[in-house]
Amino acid sequence: MRETSPGRDAGAEDLIGIGFGPANLALAIAVDAHNERNPQEALSARFVERQERFGWHRGMLLEGATMQVAFLKDLVTMRDPRSRFTFLSYLQERGRLADFINQKSFYPTRLEFHDYLEWCAAEFTDAVDYGRRAVEVRPVAEAGRVVAVEVVTEAAAGGAERRTHRARNLSVGTGLTPCLPEGVTAGERVWHTRDLLYRAPELTELRHRRFTVVGAGQSAAEAVEYLHRTFPEAEVCAVFSRYGYSPADDSPFANRIFDPEAVDHYYGAPEPVKQRLLDLHANTNYSVVDGDLIEQLYRTVYQEKVAGRERLRMLNTTRLAGVEQIADGARAAVRNLATGEEYGLDSDAVVLATGYAHVDPRELLGPLAADCLVDGGGRLRVDRDHRVLTADEVEVGIYLQGGTEHTHGITSSLLSTLAVRSGEISDSLLLRRRLCAMAN
């Protein structure tokens, strides 16, 4: 622990954000809005992002794929609909507002929404260190109290050059990491859907004329549709343990689970109730598919049966047993759960739509991790303002942008409440700074 000289470090940023995806971008907008309204109490913020430029799931920006959340749940509207960063402001500047309205749809394509995110991110280029990753967080002590942290970064592409930023608060928005089935390793012909648009265009010749897609959620169905459309000479096998794709419940009452008020209800609920709510509403987000896409895929299967050339095969009640590399491809070993039959699918690529997991922020926090309080299950205790509860001697605020489903509910890793959450974190930063100033 680094000791400082007496007196609070005036050179420290109010906030360092680790990661600059939609969550920390929304926080940058909230801080910017506060600073415009209250220049005398401006908050300073800087962000570190390992990508060379802003990007959000670029590997799945499939042509025609639409968002599963309404455009009004952008980075700011639910907190401040008058902001210059609303999706409608973006459309106006791009000259497409009337055209978008004429679509009569609340759901833009993923490509358009990504362009909106890039449009917002462009306003904060000077506040982001792109192409760098945080490798160490060191606590800074003063009179036995942790009053700041030093965030050490290095070039994401490699190299010995390191930089250090000092801050009084952290916002951890490192996103999600891809999950792979046990015993399966990604490779040249074994891809997670995260890399689909990076890898698929590289296949100029198909030796096996088959793709195998594993998974039952939205990403799996979108990958199936994309590969079937892009490679008309190939068979596409969809492997999932269910009998068929399950539709997402996006009905109005069910969607209330994504309302900002639902976070308050969830946070204050007893633990058994929290788990019950997650179980009851899992079908709003997990392993479910947009109803229109399900119908489109079903029509394709039926029409191919009529034509007598079935390229789209739904291998339901089937589970992946393993994957091995073969010449110019990969072999997916699958087992039918109903009959026990096992067989191999020689494929030009095996695509794994097997979801994501949260990265435990304690892996990055170094010595500070020992000062983070946990519950009976070893999970981080998180206050309502999204700040990790810590030992009394830690004055640094550690805010989590995701990974808080156990405390804040199903919206933890989703876009739905980003606008409101970023405002709550910004308000908390300001309140804690005022309290600290009063104490000193």
Proportion of the chain above pLDDT 70, given as a percent? 97
CA distance 106 to 87: 11
Mean per-residue pLDDT for 220-228? 98
pLDDT digits (tens, 9 = 90+) for 372-431: 999 999 999 999 999 999 999 999 999 999 999 999 999 998 999 999 999 999 999 999
359 or 191: which carries more pLDDT confidence? 191
Q: What is the pLDDT of residue 3?
A: 44
Proportion of the chain above pLDDT 90, given as a percent? 93
Indicate the pTM of the whole model.
0.94
Checking if the pLDDT of 440 tops 60, the result is yes
At 9, the pLDDT band (50, 70, 90 cuts) reads low
CA distance 311 to 313: 6
Closest CA to 256 of 416, 420, 383, 76: 416
At 111, the pLDDT band (50, 70, 90 cuts) reads very high
Mean per-residue pLDDT for 353-367? 93
pLDDT digits (tens, 9 = 90+) for 20-39: 999 999 999 999 999 999 99
Contacts of 227 (CB under 8 A, 6+ apart): 200, 211, 213, 234, 236, 351
Checking if the pLDDT of 113 tops 70, the result is yes
At 11, the pLDDT band (50, 70, 90 cuts) reads confident
Checking if the pLDDT of 6 tops 60, the result is no
At 183, the pLDDT band (50, 70, 90 cuts) reads very high
Q: What is the pLDDT of residue 5?
A: 40
| CA 202 to mean position of chain CA atoms | 26
Taking CA atoms, 348 is separated from 140, 183, 237, 320, 353, in Å, by: 52, 20, 12, 16, 16
Q: What is the pLDDT of residue 181?
A: 95
Residue 218 · residue 290 · CB < 8 Å: yes
Closest CA to 136 of 180, 170, 104, 92: 170
Q: What is the pLDDT of residue 438?
A: 81
Mean per-residue pLDDT for 231-235? 98
At 7, the pLDDT band (50, 70, 90 cuts) reads very low
CA distance 112 to 94: 11
CA distance 117 to 76: 11
Average pLDDT of every residue of the chain: 94
At 10, the pLDDT band (50, 70, 90 cuts) reads low
Residue 16 · residue 127 · CB < 8 Å: no
pLDDT digits (tens, 9 = 90+) for 118-174: 999 999 999 999 999 999 999 999 999 999 999 999 999 877 789 999 999 999 999
pLDDT digits (tens, 9 = 90+) for 259-272: 999 999 999 999 99
Q: What is the pLDDT of residue 1?
A: 47
Mean per-residue pLDDT for 285-289? 93
